[in-house]
Amino acid sequence: MDLLPLIGDVDEFKEIMGIINKEMDLVSLSDENLRRVFMIFEIAGGVVNGRTKQVTEADAEQLWCSSVDGVVAVAKQVIDYACEMNFQDLDGPLKQAVVEILRSACNIVSKQRVFDSSLQGLLEELQVEVGSTMRERLVGGKLENLTKEQDTLPLSWPRNGRISLEWIQLLISTFKWSSWKDPKEFRNVMPVTVVKKLISAASKIMREERNCVKLRVREDSEVIVVGDILGQFHDLVALFEENAGFPSDHRYFVFNGNYVDKGSWGLEVLLVLLAWKVLMPHRVYLLRGNHETKNCTLAYGFWAELCTKFGKKDCKLVFDKCLECFRTLPLATIIAQGVYTTHGGLFRRTCSASTQCSTGEKRQKLDTLSLGSLREFAKVNRFLEDVPENDLLSDVLWSDPSSEAGLRENTKKFGLLWGPDCTEEFLKENHLKLIIRSHEGPDARTGADDARNMLNGYSKDHDTVSGELYTLFTAPNYPQVQILLGCTMHSRRFIF
């Protein structure tokens, strides 16, 4: 049967194909309407070419896929070409036009769920004079309001190699978005190459810091001391955005360690803090906790977290890079010559292989425990993946205060228990007024009296002639079965 008399002149169908090819704005159409257009185009093509085969949904789908592939290929070429351009000589309107072209190209590429990590760096280069960040324009809304249905672009390392406040805000926003997704999606927004560069940049800075970092702060400055976070990324963000504020010229942050393990977002916590360290190395100080060791990260969840987020191919690489970073973390700070902060606590005098006695005698194991000095502490080798037992380094990360006088081995495998008399000796000897340590949460203080139960995020453990000792724990609702407040110490005031 001849169909042409029934459906009209062939030239009319050529005209239909021409309109679809040259005049229709296909980008603005929904997926459903696009498929309808492709069905019409395929039918018209069949008429023009004299095909008698019935056009099916499969034919339209095949045309759809091949067309999308072609458009995506062109969009990628646009992006690649733009990456090679020099934008320095472009005026405002022309630069705006380039941004619009890139926006369209990126929308096309991202719609097919194909990501180009080089794009974001290019957009960051352009965004300075455009007025709004490219990332905001691409998603059609504010940075903080990414929809769950909408894919986001992968982060890239800044093209000039310098982290900015805007880059950190982008990092936090991206992690907020990805935290509601399947953890396996993490690698799509945080490439391994960016993770490596960020960790390397921060490690390079911290490697040069002393075991005990001394902070000299101005009178108009404030210092926020933060306890254990343990992978609770959203609580870290709340600390910055709703509580203490972000680091600044007059606002210092000292983090007492235990960034990873137990919580689901240890890597996000670590990377955000490392980014702040790179941006403001003399305002943000990251100390080492007992969970920043190889054995703990293998046992308490961080290794498993990395395996889920990066898969078998890359998890070992990221894990080794994190261990490299952990080795560089300092062990303590002295703030304004009066406040000593550390993760675990006080430490023994020792002549182990990792240090040398301050008096110069030959190395030997001491038969009796005595309190170590800051001079000896300064010489300890901290650049180890794991800490040895019965050693000054393990004491710093694992020791706990006790209400009983004296210095003795901890019932745990590592560290010491020290009494109020040791706190007084340490404060007096070093002309200090306050010790702020972390390490213990509410689970560690089960059965303790009200003053030491940690349900409010802190406890005053010792009150001596020379000063006080506080334990500080910042992760709220840990371990998810108790109601408690996280706490930070803000100068000499508590923030809840």
Distance between CA atoms of residues 494 and 367, nearest Å? 41
Chain centroid, CA 454 distance in Å: 27
Helices (H), ranges, 1-91: 4-7, 10-22, 31-48, 57-83
CB-CB contact of 120 with 135 (8 Å): yes
Output the furthest CA–CA distance in the chain (Å, rounded): 110
Active-site option among 234, 250, 282, 291: 291
Cis bond before residue 93 (omega within 30° of 0): no
CA-CA-CA-CA dihedral for 216, 467, 340, 355, to nearest 10: 130
CB atoms within 10 A of CB 51: 13
CB-CB contact of 314 with 284 (8 Å): no
CB-CB contact of 83 with 122 (8 Å): yes
Distance between CA atoms of residues 77 and 80, nearest Å? 5
> Which residues, at least 6 apart from 169, have a Cβ–Cβ distance to it below 8 Å?
143
Helices (H), ranges, 368-462: 374-377, 392-398, 420-429
CB-facing half-sphere around the CA of 317: CA atoms within 13 A: 14
Instruction: Note if 250 is an active site residue.
Output: no
Name residue, tokens 């992760």: 475
The CA-atom distances, in angstroms, between 76 and each of 137, 387, 412, 465, 473 are 18, 50, 57, 70, 49
> Which residues, at least 6 apart from 389, have a Cβ–Cβ distance to it below 8 Å?
413, 414
Give catalytic residue positions: 291
